[in-house]
Amino acid sequence: MKKILNLTTIFLLIFFWTNLKAQDEFNKTKLDSYFHQLEKNNKAMCGITITKDGELVYENYIGFSSVKEKIKNNSLTIFRIGSITKMFTATIIFQLIEEGRLTLDTKLSEFYPQIPNSKEITISDMLGHRSGIHSFTDEPEYLQYMTSQKSKEEMVKRIAEFESDFKPNEKYAYSNSNYVLLGYIIEEITSSTYQEELRTRISEKINLVNTFFGDKINTKSNEAASYTFQQGEWSLQPETHMSIPHGAGAIVSTPNDLTVLINALFNNNLISEKSLNQMKDIKEGYGKGLVLFPFGNNFAYGHDGGIDGFISNLAYFPNDKVALSVLANGMNYIFNDILIGVLSIYFNAPFEIPNFDAKAIELNVEELKNYEGEFSSEQLSLDITLKVENGQLNGQATGQSAFPLTPYSKMEFRFEQAGIVIEFIPNNKGEIQYNSFILHQAGGKHTFKKQN
């Protein structure tokens, strides 16, 4: 249920790649090698599928669904998908609209008048995170009760106790409360459970055999537990009780099922083209259950998710009819960088598989001061300043916050949170040239030179 992540870089770069088109043949060996390196170096445990025109063209699974029991992730491993659930919830809402049982202008007060501003909040506002309803997951106390079962009445009461963050439709602000309430509204209208509506309206309709409302994880039934990497090993994470995220994040699925879902959605097998266009109507980065992801000169629609130690992404490139699903139950790397690596390899864009064997080194302050200066690039409309503060070499791009740079050699510095590598190039005598460096990020290479 975490907030959305982008397929674009999370820090600096603007892509200049052109002609990013789906390939009939892409370098599967390179993609296999990338995932092998991720697994070998304990960087990720995940599953991935890619389809073209609805046909599977790539899949891979690395790591364990249960570390303790040494059960490997495989094509039938079921993952918690977090906020990708919102895509399912929005789809069911649009089905109800097409059946005449609801409209985008229907007011929340018809169902839950106790929510602040409910007389002004519409279904459309809630679908697009423009309601102003405060997200209960933003509160510190959420971590204290997230593993305990909660009733619908308890959750509605909790959401109703918060003041509105802003007036309805004033702006966008991501709130899990919106989709929990939308899940409950589905139940109110149908006099059924969300679980049953999910099964009959989506899972059975397009044969998603491993997609359902989640429960307590059972690793012996090929359900993945989630982990973080701590002190050199994978550490089991607590389980959110699925009564809490409900229509905002309670669905479990597989990479294969999710690519079937998004292909069906964009082929109008679940809702009409009119409804799909309304889902795709992006305002301030979010539509109605869909996010727009730019990638180079291309783009995709989809959603991201995160719950406990799980992190996920589902995307569809309409111009190429390519779908991508990555579901992870353990991450010791930048998930965004993995997505960029996968897409770069698939679309034959520049990408070098990272060297995970390199180790950080220490340089003293006097050595670090050699790297200081203001640098500019003819390729990017930003400058980068390198400066030593408190024994740490920091970088700062125009209009950005400073970021720490860790030396891996006297020529290479990294800021791994954003996938940034700064490389100083030696001359033909092997001497470091401090007046220029190459910035590597997400497959791009950009030369920066020190300003006089």
Q: Considering the domain boundaries, does residue 139 fall inside one? A: yes
Whether residue 380 is found in the same domain as residue 292: no
Q: Please indicate, yes or no, if residue 2 is contained in any of the structural domains.
A: no
- Asked if pLDDT for residue 183 goes beyond 60, the answer is yes
In a domain, 271, yes or no: yes
> What 8-state DSSP symbol labels residue 323?
E
Angle of helix 85-98 relative to helix 176-190, nearest 10 degrees, comes to 40
Q: Does the predicted TM-score (pTM) go above 0.75?
A: yes
Structure-block tokens of residue 391? 């024994």
Task: Please give the pLDDT value at position 97.
Answer: 98
**Mean pLDDT throughout 184-202?**
98
Q: Percent of the chain scored above 90 by pLDDT?
A: 82
Q: Is 336 helix (H, G, I), strand (E, B) or coil?
A: helix
Burial class (CB in 10 A: 0-12, 13-18, 19+), 100: exposed
Mark which of 346, 374, 408 sits at the end of a domain: 346
Establish if 13 belongs to a structural domain: no
Per-residue pLDDT, 442:
64
Q: What's the confidence (pLDDT) of residue 11?
A: 34
Range picked from 19-33, 82-96, 374-388, 393-407 for highest mean pLDDT: 82-96
**pLDDT score for 24:** 62
CA pseudo-torsion sign 335, 266, 73, 347:
negative
Same domain for 185 and 40, yes or no, is yes
Average pLDDT in the 32-58 region?
97
Instruction: Report pLDDT for 434.
Output: 94
**Domain check: are 402 and 287 in the same one?**
no
Q: Residue 83 maps to which CATH number? A: 3.40.710.10
| 240 and 159 housed in the same domain | yes
Q: Is 352 a domain residue?
A: no
- Counting residues of the chain whose pLDDT is more than 70, the rounded percentage is 94
| Residue 6 in domain | no
Judge if 399 and 287 occupy the same domain.
Answer: no
* 404: CATH: 2.40.128.50
**Which strands, in side-by-side order, build the sheet including 251-253?**
79-80, 251-253, 212-213
Q: How many CB atoms lie within 10 A of CB 119?
A: 12
Q: What is the pLDDT of residue 443?
A: 66
Q: How high is the pLDDT of residue 12?
A: 37
Q: Stretch 42-62: mean pLDDT, rounded? A: 97
Q: Looking at 346, 379, 394, which one is the last position of a domain?
A: 346
Question: Are residues 144 and 253 located together in one domain of the fold?
Answer: yes
One domain, residues 341 and 371: no
Query: For the residues 112-117, what does the mean pLDDT come to?
Result: 98
Is residue 353 assigned to a domain? Answer: no
In this prediction, residue 449 carries a pLDDT of 94
User: Of 445 and 9, which is predicted with more confidence?
Assistant: 445
Residue 23, domain member (yes or no): no
Report the domain count for the chain.
2
On whether both 378 and 320 belong to a single domain, the answer is: no
Same domain membership, residue 174 and residue 224: yes
Q: What is the pLDDT of residue 21?
A: 54
Both 332 and 381 in one domain: the answer is no
Report the chain's mean pLDDT, rounded to a whole number. Answer: 92
346, 373, 397 — which closes off a domain?
346
Spatial contact of 363 and 407, defined as CB atoms under 8 Å apart: yes
Say which residues have a Cβ less than 8 Å from residue 306's Cβ, sequence separation at least 6. Answer: 1, 2, 5, 82, 83, 312
Whether residues 156 and 98 fall in one domain = yes
Spatial distance between the Cα atoms of 251 and 239, rounded to a whole number of angstroms: 13
Whether residues 336 and 371 fall in one domain: no
- Domain of residue 92 covers 28-346
